[in-house]
């Protein structure tokens, strides 16, 4: 093999890894999670009284599993539109942190192109992308679009399929569908921990989060306790990782 061929092969690989279709391929492991959660969301939204058009619009515009579950529950409970909007706003504030964590890898893009990258960012695609940062110093815009768009379309299809299945499932809680979202996040957390070389440290931070959440729930609401535990545990983890 000539030196010229060696050069072509070594330079082609990075470009292949940055392609749109590579992003699609890297999204595949998360699709089962999207499918199961999307089906559950579709069922819950349909049983809450939403029409097929409303479910489709919510999955395309809101595009947030936790927020859609919450919105469906609040709609079923007869909550006011303003209360639903404010609640969803606070639930989705975490996306500011997700976007901020990935923003250094897209500083070379224009604000409009950055908006397209961030608009479809979810907890799951963030997890895949942040794992990529451990392997390489940059993230391709085309790769990110492949990842995001694949997840987006899968979520929409799953929501519609769940809404169609809802006619045979009158009581979602009977099948534990309300726990589908937490179960997926637990799975993502476990896979993320196993993919790192600092398993002991990650497990220690997780234990701290659980202990803080349990203790905090004795003096405040469970939702606030989770927020407090998240802030304290993540801060401890960041400090320990920085200084060790």
| Chain segment 96-149, per-residue pLDDT in tens | 888 888 888 888 888 899 899 988 998 888 888 888 777 666 788 899 999 999
pLDDT (average), residues 52-73: 89
In eight-state DSSP terms, residue 238 is H
Domain boundaries, the chain: 3-179, 197-244
pLDDT at position 177: 56
Name the pLDDT band for 6 (thresholds 50, 70, 90): very low
Query: Both tokens of residue 68?
Result: 């859609």
Q: Which residue, chain included where needed, has tokens 């790769």?
A: 143
Span 195-206, pLDDT tens digits = 666 677 778 888
DSSP letters of 170-217?
Answer: S-GGGGTGGGHHHHHHHHHHHHHHHTSS-HHHHHHHHHHHHHHHHHHT
Span 8-21, pLDDT tens digits = 444 444 566 678 99
């Amino acid at each position: 093999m000539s030196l010229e061929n060696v050069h072509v092969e070594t330079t082609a690989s990075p470009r292949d890894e940055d392609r749109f279709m590579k992003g699609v391929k890297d999204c595949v492991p998360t699709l089962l999670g999207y499918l199961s959660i999307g089906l559950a969301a579709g069922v819950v939204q349909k049983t809450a009284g939403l029409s097929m058009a409303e479910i489709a619009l919510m999955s395309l515009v809101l595009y947030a599993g936790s927020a859609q579950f919450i919105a469906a529950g609040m709609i079923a409970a007869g909550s006011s539109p303003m209360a639903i909007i404010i609640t969803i706003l606070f639930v989705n504030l975490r996306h500011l942190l997700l976007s901020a964590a990935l923003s250094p890898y897209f500083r070379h893009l224009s604000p409009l192109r950055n908006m397209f990258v961030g608009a479809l960012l979810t907890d799951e695609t963030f997890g895949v992308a942040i794992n990529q940062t451990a392997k390489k110093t940059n993230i391709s815009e085309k790769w990110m679009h492949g990842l995001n768009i694949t997840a987006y379309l899968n979520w929409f299809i799953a929501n519609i399929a769940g809404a169609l299945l809802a006619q045979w499932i009158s009581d979602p809680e009977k099948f534990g569908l309300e726990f589908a979202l937490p179960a997926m996040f637990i799975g993502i957390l476990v896979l993320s921990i196993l993919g790192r070389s600092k398993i002991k440290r990650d497990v220690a931070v997780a234990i701290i989060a659980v202990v803080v959440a349990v203790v905090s729930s004795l003096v405040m609401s469970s939702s606030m306790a989770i927020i407090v535990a998240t802030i304290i545990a993540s801060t401890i983890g960041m400090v320990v990782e920085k200084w060790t």
